[in-house]
A and B are shown apart, each in its own frame.
Chain A
Amino acid sequence: MGKTAIIGFGGGGYHAAKALRKADPHAQIDVYTDTADAPANPMLTTYYVAGRIERDTQMPYGAADKIAQELGVRLFSGVRVRHLRAKERVLVLPDGTERSYDDIVLATGSHPLVPPIKGLPEDRKGIYVMRTMADADRLLQRVHEGIGSAVVIGASWVGIKVVEALHAHHVPIVLADMAPRIFPTATMPDVADIIHQRLTDMGVRLKFGAGISEIRQEGDQLVSLYHDGTEETSDIIALCLGLRPTVDIIDPAEFRMGRGICVDLHMRTSVPHIYAVGDCCEAYEMISGQPVVVNLWANAFTQGEIAGRNIAGYPTQFQGNFIHNITHFMGMDFIGLGDNRASGEQIVYRHPKEDWVFYATIDGDVIKCINVLDNHKVSGPAKAVLIRCLTAGGEAIGPAARLALQQSGLPAEIIAKIGGY
């Protein structure tokens, strides 16, 4: 094996390095990261802002130096690769230095979408996003300085966690989204209604069907204006409008591109010996059969391992993934699996005594979507059933999976329907 460069040191980059090192104790592995921090899980930023974890806990594998030593990699911290000349496999560094490699892993992650909203302050004063530890530091500092009111734009997975973090600090909040409901890409309307009611009861003001059109500064406050003609005044605005793959170091014309860098099941891009993993790439999605960007920690973990193994000469394929999420927020668990736009027979189960619900959409023998509110026990077995449905051609689930579903509290008739028998 020759020299490998890994660009980006999040979950994907870390696991690519780890798999590569495990396969070859002598390989040269150079890792480039634009921060001085160790791999950090973006999902943990809001837990830190809420005061539920220490700052270092955002970095699950420990300090950067310790990791570099354990993995035997050359770590170039604080070095943002300026450009990749893909066909030559040459990295151009900020000082103009060029380094060539035999294999390269792009693990550059993603960044928050900040659309060109009219009036958005150029200095971003009072405007917050949530992705990196630096973003979390900045919001927490503002919390310590005092926040009288906040508007969170985007009822997304990140948006609700920002709401939760600010709610923990007793900040009055408006949660706004141009979509008609929370988690619009995951929730079924009835399940969303339950969540809306609970959030309202907890004092969160909801503003759906209202896309932001403009921001105005009035003294120390910000006024956000919406397409429906309404406006909100707040101390801060958090923009949680989704993520975009970070691909600015490549020339898109050199790669096959979709919303991210397209990869095959070996995590290979269209350029030989260049791999892409995690949030910056789009890979096979099991329900649609189309390539999709899946912004999940475990997805980056798996894809990083696969790239590392393939570079090391151990052919390994990605099974595929699908959009799924479990979000634990404000005393609730929402579990969303699959495509909530899919049509088919709707199965509904509301537990008669405990306060949890299960919704599924089934088209023939194929489960298209599952929503669960407040029963995490269902989530794992149900996800396994969905994966089996997608990979085993409707074959009935085995006894262990059936028992796991029984133990989760689902009645036999529902298990029979989703279990393919």
Chain B
Amino acid sequence: MKMIFDLDMEKCVACGACAVACMDQNDIWPNQGQTPFRHVGIVNPLPAQEGGALTVLSLGCMHCDNAPCIQACPVGCLFKDEMNLTVYDNTRCIGCHSCAMACPYGAPTYREDGRMYKCDGCAQRQKNGMVPACVRVCPTGALTCQSEESYLENKRAASIRKILQNNR
């Protein structure tokens, strides 16, 4: 079943709970120089938007359909699993940083061993019926990971609700 990560930016408050849960789940130690797989941030507003609402968001691997990191990896470390998550086996990683250059979102990270590490969508948790750690702790429900079918259905329902609200 294809799973889709989604962030509702109207709900995200950049509290950082997702990033902390991710670090906990994946044993990431920023104080030892390791880069977290998920970031939250306040994006500098566009000049035209000054005075408007700040944009806040949570950013991690997008698990792109046609993931450019997979194409770029010269040793074939990255691949898709049965849930369409972009997962990896870094045994053969040569630390060439080709995947970093391919990723628009800065998802690949590297550690002292020179190898690439990234968000794998908590594939093991999901295989065991659990939701990804970042999704589990999100207090506002902004971050979700759901089946493609459920995602599209929810999108349709949200669109209808919006149309109805606008017509009141």
Chain A positions near chain B (C-beta within 8 angstroms): 41, 43-44, 47, 52-53, 57, 60-61, 297-298, 301-302, 324, 326, 328, 333, 335, 376-377, 379-381, 383-384, 396, 399-404, 406-408, 412, 415-416, 421
Q: Which 8 A-B pairs have the closest CB atoms?
A: A384-B104, A60-B76, A380-B103, A379-B101, A326-B101, A376-B97, A376-B100, A404-B106
Interface SS majority for chain A: helix
A298-B72, A400-B62 are known contacts; what are 10 more A-B pairs with Cβ within 8 Å?
A41-B75, A44-B74, A57-B94, A60-B73, A60-B75, A380-B105, A383-B104, A399-B9, A399-B57, A421-B46
Let me know if B101 and A383 touch, CB within 8 A: yes
Let me know if B101 and A402 touch, CB within 8 A: no
Q: What residues on B are CB-neighbors of A376 within 8 Å?
A: 97, 100-101, 110
What is the CA–CA distance of A180 and B30 in the complex, to the nearest angstrom? 42
Give which listed residue, A44, A333, A408, A421, contacts B106 with CB less than 8 A.
Answer: A408
Cβ of A381 to closest chain B Cβ, rounded Å: 6
Known: A53-B94, A61-B76, A326-B97. Contact between A403 and B104, CB under 8 A? Answer: no
Let me know if B96 and A326 touch, CB within 8 A: yes
What is the CA–CA distance of A53 and B114 in the complex, to the nearest angstrom? 13
Q: What residues on A are CB-neighbors of B59 within 8 Å?
A: 400, 403-404, 407
What is the CA–CA distance of A297 and B39 in the complex, to the nearest angstrom? 30
Q: What residues on A are CB-neighbors of B39 within 8 Å?
A: 403, 407
CB interface residues, B 45-76, toward A, < 8 Å: 46-48, 55, 57, 59, 62, 68, 71-76
Cβ of B30 to closest chain A Cβ, rounded Å: 13
Let me know if A380 and B44 touch, CB within 8 A: no
Cβ of A156 to closest chain B Cβ, rounded Å: 16
Let me know if B101 and A324 touch, CB within 8 A: yes
CB interface residues, B 98-116, toward A, < 8 Å: 98, 100-106, 108, 110
Q: What residues on B are CB-neighbors of A399 within 8 Å?
A: 9, 43, 55, 57
Q: What residues on A are CB-neighbors of B47 within 8 Å?
A: 416, 421
Q: What residues on B are CB-neighbors of A402 within 8 Å?
A: 43-44
Count how many chain B residues have C-beta atoms less than 8 Å from C-beta atoms of the other chain. Answer: 34
Q: Which residue of A lies closest to B69 (CB)?
A: A380
Give which listed residue, B43, B92, B100, contacts A379 with CB less than 8 A.
Answer: B100
Cβ of A356 to closest chain B Cβ, rounded Å: 13
Let me know if B94 and A380 touch, CB within 8 A: no
Q: What residues on B are CB-neighbors of A52 within 8 Å?
A: 94
Interchain Cβ contacts under 8 Å between A and B, 30 examples: A44-B75, A53-B92, A60-B73, A60-B92, A297-B74, A298-B68, A298-B71, A326-B100, A326-B101, A328-B97, A376-B101, A376-B110, A377-B100, A380-B108, A381-B104, A383-B101, A383-B104, A396-B46, A399-B9, A400-B57, A401-B105, A403-B41, A406-B41, A406-B43, A406-B44, A407-B39, A407-B59, A407-B106, A415-B44, A421-B46
Let me know if A328 and B101 touch, CB within 8 A: no
Let me know if A403 and B57 touch, CB within 8 A: yes
Q: What residues on B are CB-neighbors of A44 within 8 Å?
A: 74-75, 94
Cβ of A297 to closest chain B Cβ, rounded Å: 6
Q: Which residue of B lies closest to A396 (CB)?
A: B46
What is the CA–CA distance of A335 and B104 in the complex, to the nearest angstrom? 14
Q: Which residue of A lies closest to B9 (CB)?
A: A399
Q: What residues on B are CB-neighbors of A381 within 8 Å?
A: 104-106
Let me know if B44 and A412 touch, CB within 8 A: yes
What is the CA–CA distance of A41 and B75 in the complex, to the nearest angstrom? 8
* Interface status of B16 (Cβ within 8 A of chain A): no
Q: What residues on B are CB-neighbors of A421 within 8 Å?
A: 46-48
Q: What residues on A are CB-neighbors of B68 within 8 Å?
A: 298
What is the CA–CA distance of A400 and B97 in the complex, to the nearest angstrom? 21
Q: What residues on B are CB-neighbors of A406 within 8 Å?
A: 41, 43-44
Let me know if B101 and A416 touch, CB within 8 A: no
What is the CA–CA distance of A44 and B44 in the complex, to the nearest angstrom? 40
Cβ of B16 to closest chain A Cβ, rounded Å: 13
Let me know if B102 and A380 touch, CB within 8 A: yes
Q: What residues on B are CB-neighbors of A328 within 8 Å?
A: 95-97
What is the CA–CA distance of A326 and B96 in the complex, to the nearest angstrom? 8
What is the CA–CA distance of A383 and B97 in the complex, to the nearest angstrom? 13
What is the CA–CA distance of A412 and B44 in the complex, to the nearest angstrom? 7
What is the CA–CA distance of A354 and B101 in the complex, to the nearest angstrom? 20
Q: Which residue of B lies closest to A57 (CB)?
A: B92
Q: Which residue of B lies closest to A41 (CB)?
A: B74
Most buried by A among B9, B43, B76, B95: B43
Let me know if A380 and B101 touch, CB within 8 A: yes
Cβ of A349 to closest chain B Cβ, rounded Å: 16
**Bitwise interface map of B from 84 to 97 toward A, beta carbon under 8 Å scored 1, else 0:** 00000000101111
What is the CA–CA distance of A377 and B59 in the complex, to the nearest angstrom? 14
What is the CA–CA distance of A224 and B125 in the complex, to the nearest angstrom? 61
CB interface residues, B 1-54, toward A, < 8 Å: 9, 39, 41, 43-44, 46-48
Give which listed residue, A47, A61, A326, A404, contacts B98 with CB less than 8 A.
Answer: A326
Let me know if A298 and B102 touch, CB within 8 A: yes
Cβ of B116 to closest chain A Cβ, rounded Å: 10
Q: What residues on A are CB-neighbors of B100 within 8 Å?
A: 326, 376-377, 379-380
Let me know if B71 and A301 touch, CB within 8 A: yes
